[in-house]
Amino acid sequence: MEPSSDPVPDRIEVGALVLVRPRPEDCAELVAALSDSDEIARWTRIPYPYRPEDFDAWLARDGHSYLIRTEGRIIGTTGAGVDPATATAELGYWLAPHARGAGHAVTAARAVCELAFDRDAARIFASVIVGNLSSSVVLDRLGFTFEGVQRSVAAVNCGLGPARIDLQMWSLLPGELT
């Protein structure tokens, strides 16, 4: 079956979290949330320092990611958009430092993985820079399988890390989400 190209839902409620699609008026709050953590620059491909222009570019090209909100406040983002050509989705997530340690990344990422499978994803993958232990734990909790390590990969946009990195590869197939 072809993966769905219909728009994703605007809002998903899951426990104490609300996942909402980003809108132009979210720019200042998201830029502020992303300025608060060197770890996001160290472990993700999110531009660093993050500027309003980066938000505008993200909004223009991204058709699937969600802001994670709790008590009305942005605490992170997540997404797993399905590429219709390959029925494959890449999972991504980050949380602001004050929101970590409460299981929110697992809860939010599980919701977008469910959505990707509902939209006929045949494979969801995620890559984690070696050393980012809390992210590896998140994937393990979701039921992802560790596939191996890609060595000495060019670190595109990883603002605070080395130019080349080792990348753990993880994948999740239909029926494996925990």
Q: How far is the CB of 7 from ligand COA (least distance, A)?
A: 25
Applying CB under 6 A, the span of 5-13, 17-25, 67-75, 99-107 interacting with ligand COA comes to 99-107
Nearer to ligand COA, 9 or 131 (CB): 131
Q: Does 114 bind ligand COA (CB under 6 A)?
A: no
Nearer to ligand COA, 3 or 104 (CB): 104
Contacts with ligand COA in 28-47 (CB under 6 A)? 39-40, 43-44
Judged by CB under 6 A, which of 1, 60, 85, 133 binds ligand COA? Answer: 133
Judged by CB under 6 A, which of 137, 150, 164, 174 binds ligand COA? Answer: 137
Pairing of strands 123-129, 88-90: parallel
Q: Does 111 bind ligand COA (CB under 6 A)?
A: no
